[in-house]
Amino acid sequence: MKRILTLMAGALALVAAPAAAEKIKPDIAEYKAIELKSLASGKQTIDPSKAYIFIRSPKNRSNGVFLKTPSPEEIANYEAKWREELADEIKKYPGRLERWEVQQKVGRARGEKPVEPTEANFSIAPIDTRMMVPFGPQYVFDKSDDGEEKTFSYLVEVEPGEYTYFGPMFAMPNGQVFGQCYCMGSVKFEAKAGQITSLGDFLSLGWADRAALEQSTFERELLADRPAVPTDWSLPDSLAQYPSVKAELRAAGKRNNFVRALVGRIPPVPGVLAYERDVPIDLVGLAEAEAKARAEAEAAAAERARAEAEAAAHEVGKAAEAAEAEAEAEATPDPAQ
C-alpha cells in the first residue's frame, strides 16, 4: 500500500511538474539559419508566417547581430518576469539578512550588508539581451565563385517585426560578444511576414567611401582610399520564386552597449542617416516631416483660397440681390402718384 501511494504521488508530481515549473518567461527573439542545400532537399521550407533577412558578403564570410524591437506582448512578458524575480528576491531577503547578521556577530561577515530589494533598486538583464538575432560566419545559405571573387550569403528566418543592425559582431553561445557595436548610430528596417527582406551586400559597407568611413572609426590610418560602389540588393536565382523586397532603411538612434563590445557607429548613409557630431540624424524622418509640413501648408492655403472665394461669391450674390431689389422698386408704380 505504501509503495502504491508512493507511485501515485510520483505520478501526480510528474503531471503537476510542468505547471509548477512554468514560470513567467520573457519572449526570446526566435531565429534560424536557412541553408540552400536544406531548402532544396525539403528539410527546410519558407514559412509564410515568418520573415526572412538576406545578406550577401563579397570575398569573405561575414557575421553580425540584429536587435529585434520588442512587441508590446514581449515587453509585458519581460515586465512580468521582472516582477516575478523581484518577488523571489523579496522572499529570500530576510534569510540573507539573518545569515549576514549572525556572521557579523561572530566576525565572519563578508561583503556589504544585504540591501532590501525594492522596485526602485531591483533590476534584471535588459530586454535587448533577449532580442539578439545573430548571423554568420557559419551556416552559410550559399557560396559561389565566379573565378574572380567568392561570395557568401546568409538567409535568416526571424519573427516579423522591426530590426536594428547592432553591428559586425560575433555572438558566442555563452553570451560573450566580439566585434564592434554600432551603439552610436545604425540603421533599422521592417521584416514582414511571408517575404524575404534583402540587405544585399549593404552590411559590407562597399557603398561608403573613405570620407564616410572616417566618420565611423577612430582608426583612420588603415582605411583604404577606395571609391564607393553601389549596393547590390538583388537575390540569387535560388530565391527568385519567393516574394521579396529591398530593405527600407531608417536611421536608428543610440543604444546602450550592454554587450560591452568596442563602441562605434555605421558610416553616414546617403538619404538615410547623417551625424551632427555624435547625434544621429534621421534623414528619412526629416524628409517626411518636411513633406508633411508642405502638404499641410498647401492644404491650409487652399482652404484659405476656398474661403476667400466663397466670401467673394457671397458678396457678389448680395450685391446682385440688392441691385435686383432696387430695380424692382424702381419698376413698381407709386400708388400715391
Give Cβ neighbours of residue 278 (< 8 Å, ≥ 6 apart). Answer: 184
pLDDT recorded at residue 39: 94
pLDDT recorded at residue 158: 97
What are the grid coordinates assigned to 44, written together?
Answer: 527546410
Instruction: Output the CA torsion sign for 13, 16, 18, 19.
Output: negative
Please provide the distance, in angstroms rounded to a whole number, between the alpha carbons at the two ends of the chain: 133
Nearest to 197 by CA among 120, 135, 260, 123: 135
pLDDT recorded at residue 25: 53
pLDDT digit string (tens) for the chain, length 337 residues: 344 334 334 433 333 333 334 445 557 899 999 999 999 999 999 999 999 999 999 989 999 999 999 999 999 999 999 999 999 999 999 999 999 899 888 888 778 899 999 999 999 999 999 999 999 999 999 998 877 788 999 999 999 999 999 999 998 877 788 999 999 999 999 999 999 999 999 999 999 888 888 887 766 666 777 788 999 999 999 999 999 999 999 999 899 999 999 999 999 999 999 999 999 999 999 988 888 888 888 888 888 988 888 888 888 888 887 777 777 777 766 666 5
pLDDT recorded at residue 49: 96
Nearest to 230 by CA among 197, 195, 269, 191: 269
pLDDT recorded at residue 199: 98
| Domain map (residue ranges) of the chain | 19-267
Rounded Cα distance between 185 and 222, Å, is 22
pLDDT recorded at residue 10: 42
pLDDT recorded at residue 217: 72
pLDDT recorded at residue 20: 37
Three-state DSSP at 52 gives: strand
